Structure formats: C-alpha cells, structure tokens
Amino acid sequence: MGTTFLSGVIEGFYGPPWHRGERRELFAMMSAWGLNTYVYGPKDDLHHRALWREPYPEADLGPLRDLVAECRGHGLEFFYALGPGLDLRYSDPADREALRARLAQLRSLGCRHFCLLFDDIPDRMAPGDRERWGSFASAQCAVTNELFLWMRGQDPGARFLFCPTPYCGRMASRHLGGADYLATVGRELDPEIGVFWTGPEIISREITVAHVEELTGILRRPPVIWDNLQANDYDGHRFFAGPFSGRPPELRSGVGGVLLNPNTEFPLNFVPLRTLALWLANDGAWRPRDAYLQALTEWHPKFDGALQTISLADLTLLMDCYYLPYEEGPEVVQWRQQLGDLLSRPPSAWGQEAAQVGALAARLQEACVRMTELRNRPLFHALSRRLWELREELDLLGRYLRHQADPGLAGTRFQSDFHQPLTYRGGMVASLQRLLRAESDGTFTAESEPACRKGPNP
C-alpha cells in the first residue's frame, strides 16, 4: 500500500460537490496544517457513480485538470475515487475496459492515485458473476487487482484504495456482502491495496486500538480510516463543528491513514479539519475540548459582523449546540439538563431557575441573530437554516416559560401566535418522525407502543 501515512480529506458525501474556490481554500489549509491527501469522490458527481462508464465530457476536463494541478501544487496527494458498484458486471470485459478507460482519462489529467468504492450498493450479484467467482468479495478483488496491476504497469508509484461493501463493524457482523467477505478480501486483494474502514459503525463514536488490531488481522493489512465523525449528509437539520475525538493518539501507529469525510457545507469544516491536524501532530495526552477551543479561536475572525461581531464566548456556546453526533458541548448539556428538570416541576417551584434558563436561551437567540449579519455570506448561508430552526425553538421555549410563570395565566393552555400547526414542525418528514420513537438503547417503537416494551433485535 505504500509507506506514507495518509492524512486529510475525502470529499465523499451525498450532496452538492464543493466548488473550485472552496477546494482551493481547502488545499491551502491542508498544506498549512500538515495534512497530505485529498480524495475526490462526491457521490453526486454523476460520472463518479451513476455514469461511471461514460468518460467525462470535454467541457469537464479543463476544470478536472486544474483541480489535480492545484492539489498537487500544494504538495498534496490527489486520489480519484470511482464508484461503479451500483451496476458493474464483474465478468463483462466491456465493463472492465470502461474502468480502464476512466482511469486512463484521469491519468491523462495528471492523476496518479485511485480508489475503487463498493460502498452503499445492492447486496446482490448477477448470475454470471456468481457462477464465475462465487462471492461478492472475490469478484470485487479480481476486478480491483486487475485494474491495479494494469495501472502499476504504467506508473510504478500509483496507489490504490478499496472500499468494501461492509465498511464498518456492524455491517460485517450482519454479513453484508457474504459471511466471509472481509476474510476473503484479506486473502485475495493485492496486499499493496489499502482498505477503507469507518470503525464499529458508519458514524463511529469511538475507534479503539483493539478494534483496529482485530480488523488488521482479518484484512492482513492496517486499514485506512474513512472517518464520518463530522459528516452530516444523513441529517439536514444538523452540522458538526465539534473536535476530532474518540480516537486515541495510539491509533495512528495501527492504521494506514485517517481521512475525514466532513460536513457537506465546506465553510463549516474549519474546526473538524483543524482538530484532525492537531490530533495528528499531538505528542501527549489528547484533549479534544482544548483542541476545539483553540480551533474556535482561530476560526473566530471569519465571523466578522457588519453591525456587531459575535463574541468568542457566544460563538463557543452556539457551536456547542452543533458539536458531535453523539454529544453536545458541556455548557449546552448543563443548560439542557437544567431545562428538563425545570419543566418536570410545577411553575410554582421554578423560582430563580426559570430566569437563568431563560437568560441562556435568550443569549443563544441573540447569537443566532448576530449570524445573519456576517460579512462572510457563504459562511452565513451554510449556517442559516439550521440556526434559524434553533432560534425558532428557543423563541417557542421562551414564550412557554413566560406563559407558565405568569400567575395571571395559571390554568390556561399555552399557544403561540408564531408557531401554528402544520406551518411549524409540519410536513411529511416531521409526520413520519412522529410515528416511530427512538429509544435510548438504539431501538425504535411505534408511538402507540409503550416505551417500556423493549426486547432484543430479531
């Protein structure tokens, strides 16, 4: 697989690909922070996935050539990722030739390194492919090895990365791709080809050394971590501005690299990428919160306001609301717990606590308003929908607290003139979300089903 530890970014999400100016800014940041690898593979580039057999049209070749040159001009390795697995016929010579033609086209633009991605595809094979190879893993390994050796014949320094169909522990435990998929890859995939892995889960809260050691034994090579910790393409209501965490520094010696697949919105990725770089350079105990606060301090100048610039303290509080998939920042967690405790008691027992809760909610609301004044409009546009949704919830909460605390309104039910049924928290998605309740143990129950009725997964 080569000896260089790969560190950097995978543009591998579902959603609008980043534009040239964003990638140029990305390359400059990566170079300054000591990262070394960029993987081009946005799922919504039609020629990356859906139209993989078709060469890029002439009009696209100039921008692609410039992208490769700009990346390499910053001292970074450029990998082009191709995802043919939706409908690849492994035994068809024409399809294998189409793969070679695509890689040859990219090589003519200056690209040397490639990835073949078999993630998020149907778990089935054409009869002819199954008859020839017997398993998904064997078919994918055969095609990848053939392509790798062909490319190495033209460029001995070319590197290949492979994304398996089961690319996390949960998928493997459920035998996606076949019961012996990963073991087959370990035996049959050329040992010089790296294998992507996202950890125990698609979005892994933690990736331990023990987990990676076990996987390395199966794959017969250290994996390259495709890290979805701060990816948000699966949830349009959130983004993740928290630190790189849940990965001990000792992990670095057990993997072939760590590549972050971050938020779809490029302007929101400063803290994720900066803290990844700090983690890679760290030579002591890793303190994610300290890294987060350092990165926020460096990011803060981007939040210059036309009328009033948000303070660093308020920026920290606001980004704590959009921390990581499994947690919020500590100040927000404390406030949320205090709020829950307050609402569990009758208003007569609230005392000064209601004012404290309300004051922080008002502070968050004001921070949301300050964001509308950002001079950096791309940053504001990346934030705006999520922050305005937060502001609406905070506004509703504040109105409810004031209503409940007003002795003159005792015994009356609260209603907001600004949050009407169907126009607020309405729509098909919201109505579907109300049908199934997510339990704390990861199971789901129908809303009509008692929450206490829980059992093991079938």
* Per-residue H/E/C for 283-318: CCCCCHHHHHHHHHHHHHHHHCECCCCCCHHHHHHH
pLDDT at residue 50 in the model? 93
Tokens of 206: 């933690």
Measured from the Cβ of residue 80, the count of other Cβ atoms closer than 10 Å reads 22
Of the candidates 44, 66, 95, 120, the residue annotated as catalytic is 120
DSSP state of 7: E
Q: Give dist(CA 103, CA 97) in Å, integer.
A: 10
Helix, coil or strand: residue 78: strand
pLDDT at residue 280 in the model? 97
pLDDT at residue 450 in the model? 67
Segments of the chain with pLDDT less than 50: 1, 454-458
Which residue type sits at 159?
Answer: R
Q: Give dist(CA 134, CA 128) in Å, integer.
A: 10
pLDDT at residue 455 in the model? 45
Burial class (CB in 10 A: 0-12, 13-18, 19+), 114: buried
Q: What is the pTM of this model?
A: 0.93
Residue 170: phi and psi, rounded to 5, are: -65, -45
Beta pairing partners, 84: none
Closest to 270 measured CA to CA, from 244, 245, 290:
244
Q: Give dist(CA 447, CA 458) in Å, integer.
A: 20
pLDDT at residue 30 in the model? 98
DSSP state of 449: S
Question: For 253-275, b where at least 16 C-beta lie within 10 A, e where not — what string?
Answer: ebbbbbbbbbbbbbbbbbbbbbb
Q: Give dist(CA 297, CA 312) in Å, integer.
A: 7
Measured from the Cβ of residue 336, the count of other Cβ atoms closer than 10 Å reads 14
Residues 163 and 115 sit within 8 Å (Cβ to Cβ): yes
Catalytic residue status for 120 = yes
Residue 368 CA to its chain's centroid (Å): 24
pLDDT at residue 77 in the model? 97
DSSP state of 344: T
Residue 315: phi and psi, rounded to 5, are: -65, -40
Helix, coil or strand: residue 340: helix
Q: Give dist(CA 218, CA 214) in Å, integer.
A: 7
Tokens of 456: 């093991």
Q: Give dist(CA 329, CA 320) in Å, integer.
A: 4
Q: Give dist(CA 143, CA 33) in Å, integer.
A: 36
Residues 161 and 196 sit within 8 Å (Cβ to Cβ): yes
Domains parsed from the chain with CATH numbers = 6-299 (3.20.20.80), 312-409 (1.20.58.240), 428-458 (no CATH)
Tokens of 289: 């919160």
pLDDT at residue 458 in the model? 36
State the DSSP H helix or E strand holding residue 257, giving kind and residue range, or none if neither. strand 257-260
Helix, coil or strand: residue 226: strand
Residues 40 and 81 sit within 8 Å (Cβ to Cβ): yes
Tokens of 240: 């993740």
Closest to 362 measured CA to CA, from 405, 395, 329:
395
Closest to 81 measured CA to CA, from 48, 55, 111, 56:
48
